[in-house]
């Protein structure tokens, strides 16, 4: 990116709005507060819908999982569990003649069967939640001992590694905690980040186990109070985009746009952008209605790029999301989505949302799916691909850095590492915004082409995530490359706006989209 900025030095830029659909953003963070989108037609805090868009006091964005009374949804159930119970009475134990179903009924029944298999499988096999709970309890105990022994409440794995434990209980605590940090490649993370992440993981696995015997709690319905089955009932939620647990969204926003060259923390990828905060992702699975309306909100309020670092295995109302994707396409808005972290081939394994439009079978042209690359020089990573990253030659477009990414985190103007395709996606969203800020007349399709064709092709084979198989990166994503900001901006500089002839040099590499 430093070379990319040098390439465009002195050129005029246009401010680009990037919407972050996520779990919320710390709007008070020192490195983000100056880059937040501000609704120019809304007067803060007056309780009036000044711009008459249906959303009161939406100064920095909107919270689609909040209530009009100020409450908010923090955790929610998983979509597979919701689908299983939604159709359980209709299909469980009933004689079903699939031959008499129309296509819609067939799709519904097949989705229910997959949900049933998933819910029952989570309950009878997979993770041992009792053992997980013991690991969490021991980690919390060890952390308490270590905080006293080290003399500070927050320490990294590297700090712990160099700490000379004298007391026997501190030595045992160090050994136990250090083992878990190393096993999870989290040596640069803090004790708080590890405990918080483990707590969230244990809670999610326990909810999955519970789903086989108990219907999902109406987390969202009790707070949001809309008609969830009516996409036209859309004026719900509240303006609190910080509520819940904003760690994930804050980290994502920083990668895209943390203020550059201000001497604080870290620099985001893009330098002339505004972040629109849209809260629609709980601890659990998001709802299709919220995502569809979040995309539409972003488009209607001027976003040129939308980052979506979330995903799930079921999408019962995919048609609503598909319609929103087509709407964004018609308005020239680029959608960037994280491929997911299951080391799975998403050409054959469901991961929603995705660019494939169910009604027509066509693929949206304004969509980029991003896998996570890693640093092969780091001791913990022996491949250019992150071990957890989803992949797919037909579905994943490009890879981008997604391991040990340092960015903004909420509370006290702090910073820390996180990893996942959730971190790789905003690298690409930031790069897209950077390109558009210098060449604002380019279409989403041109920006997508630029990012893919300029990606660095690797001379050596990489590990296929989830295995030890060595393959070409072109077997894992359509571009066969890792994003390259410098090459992308050089290629972008050669293009003309849509409708004008594109130079032949820009069409030599890569596939036709």
pLDDT, tens only, 310-350: 999 999 999 999 999 999 999 999 999 999 999 999 999 99
- Residue 61 DSSP class: E
372 and 420 Cβ atoms separated by less than 8 Å: yes
243 and 64 Cβ atoms separated by less than 8 Å: no
Helix (H, G, I), strand (E, B) or coil at 452: helix
Average pLDDT across the chain, whole number: 92
Quote the tokens at residue 431: 């790069």
pLDDT tens digits, 199-219: 988 888 888 888 888 999 999
What strand order describes the sheet that includes 61-63?
61-63, 273-279, 16-22, 305-308, 334-338, 367-373, 398-401, 481-482, 456-457
Residue bearing the bigger pLDDT, 459 or 472: 472
Please determine, for residue 259, whether its predicted confidence score (pLDDT) is greater than 90. yes
At residue 188 the predicted structure's pLDDT band, cuts being 50, 70 and 90, is confident
pLDDT of 126 reads: 64
pTM of the prediction? 0.89
pLDDT tens digits, 109-153: 999 999 999 898 766 666 788 899 999 999 999 999 999 999 999
Q: Which of 422, 425, 478, 479 is catalytic?
A: 422
pLDDT tens digits, 233-253: 999 999 999 998 899 999 999
Cα 321 to Cα 216: distance, rounded to the nearest angstrom: 23
Residue 422 a catalytic site member = yes
Average pLDDT over residues 286-300: 98
pLDDT of 123 reads: 64
Please determine, for residue 499, whether its predicted confidence score (pLDDT) is greater than 60. no
Residue 60 a catalytic site member = no
pLDDT of 513 reads: 33
Question: What sign does the dihedral 351-355-357-360 (CA atoms) show?
Answer: negative
At residue 381 the predicted structure's pLDDT band, cuts being 50, 70 and 90, is low
Average pLDDT over residues 90-106: 92
Cα 283 to Cα 264: distance, rounded to the nearest angstrom: 29
Helix (H, G, I), strand (E, B) or coil at 423: helix
Burial class (CB in 10 A: 0-12, 13-18, 19+), 7: middle
Average pLDDT over residues 50-54: 96
- Residue 338 DSSP class: E
Q: Which of 29, 122, 139, 248 is catalytic?
A: 248
Quote the tokens at residue 18: 């990037």
Residue 22 a catalytic site member = yes
Cα 308 to Cα 335: distance, rounded to the nearest angstrom: 7
Share of the chain above pLDDT 70, in %: 95
- φ, ψ for residue 372, nearest 5 deg: -105, 125
Cα 58 to Cα 477: distance, rounded to the nearest angstrom: 38
Cα 399 to Cα 488: distance, rounded to the nearest angstrom: 14
């Amino acid at each position: 990116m430093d070379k990319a900025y040098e390439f465009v030095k002195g050129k005029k830029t246009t401010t680009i709005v990037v919407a972050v659909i996520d779990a919320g953003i710390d709007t008070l963070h020192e490195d983000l507060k100056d880059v937040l989108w501000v609704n120019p037609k809304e007067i803060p805090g007056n309780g009036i819908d000044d711009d008459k868009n249906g959303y009161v006091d939406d100064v920095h964005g909107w919270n689609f999982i909040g209530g009009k009374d100020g409450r908010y949804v923090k955790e929610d159930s998983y979509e597979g569990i919701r689908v299983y119970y939604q159709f359980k009475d209709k299909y469980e134990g009933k004689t079903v003649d699939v031959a008499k179903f129309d296509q819609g009924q067939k799709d519904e029944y097949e989705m229910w069967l997959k949900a049933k298999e998933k819910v029952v499988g989570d309950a009878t096999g997979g993770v041992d939640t009792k053992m997980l709970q013991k690991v969490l309890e021991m980690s919390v105990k060890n952390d308490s001992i270590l905080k006293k022994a080290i003399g500070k409440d927050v320490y990294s794995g590297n700090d712990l590694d160099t700490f000379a434990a004298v007391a026997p209980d501190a030595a045992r605590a160090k050994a136990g905690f250090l083992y878990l940090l190393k096993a999870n490649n989290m040596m640069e993370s803090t004790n708080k980040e590890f405990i918080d992440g483990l707590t969230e993981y244990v809670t999610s696995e326990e909810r999955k186990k519970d789903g086989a015997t108990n219907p999902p709690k109406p987390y969202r319905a009790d707070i949001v109070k809309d008609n969830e089955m009516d996409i036209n009932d859309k004026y719900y939620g509240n303006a609190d985009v910080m509520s819940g647990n904003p760690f994930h969204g804050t980290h994502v926003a920083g990668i895209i746009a943390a203020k550059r060259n201000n001497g604080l923390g870290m620099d985001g990828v893009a330098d002339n952008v505004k972040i629109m905060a849209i809260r629609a992702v709980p601890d659990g699975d998001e709802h299709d209605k919220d995502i569809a309306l979040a995309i539409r909100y972003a488009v209607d309020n001027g976003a040129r790029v939308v980052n979506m670092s979330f995903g799930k295995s079921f999408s019962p109302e995919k048609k609503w999301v598909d319609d929103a994707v087509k709407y964004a396409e018609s308005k020239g808005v680029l959608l960037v989505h994280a491929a997911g972290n299951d080391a799975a081939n998403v050409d054959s394994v469901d991961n929603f949302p995705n660019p494939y439009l169910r009604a027509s079978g066509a693929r949206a042209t304004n969509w980029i799916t991003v896998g996570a690359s890693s640093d092969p020089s780091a001791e913990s990573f022996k491949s250019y691909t992150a071990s957890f990253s989803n992949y797919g030659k037909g579905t994943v477009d490009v890879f981008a850095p997604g391991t040990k990414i340092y960015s903004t985190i909420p509370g006290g103007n702090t910073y820390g590492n996180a990893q996942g395709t959730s971190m790789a996606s905003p690298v690409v969203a930031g790069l897209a915004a950077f390109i558009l800020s210098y060449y604002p007349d380019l279409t989403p399709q041109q920006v997508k082409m630029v990012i893919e064709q300029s990606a660095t092709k690797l001379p050596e084979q990489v590990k296929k995530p989830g295995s030890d198989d060595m393959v070409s990166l072109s077997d894992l994503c359509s571009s066969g490359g890792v994003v390259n900001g410098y090459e992308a901006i050089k290629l972008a500089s050669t293009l003309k706006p849509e409708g004008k002839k594109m130079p032949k040099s820009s069409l030599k590499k890569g596939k036709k989209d």
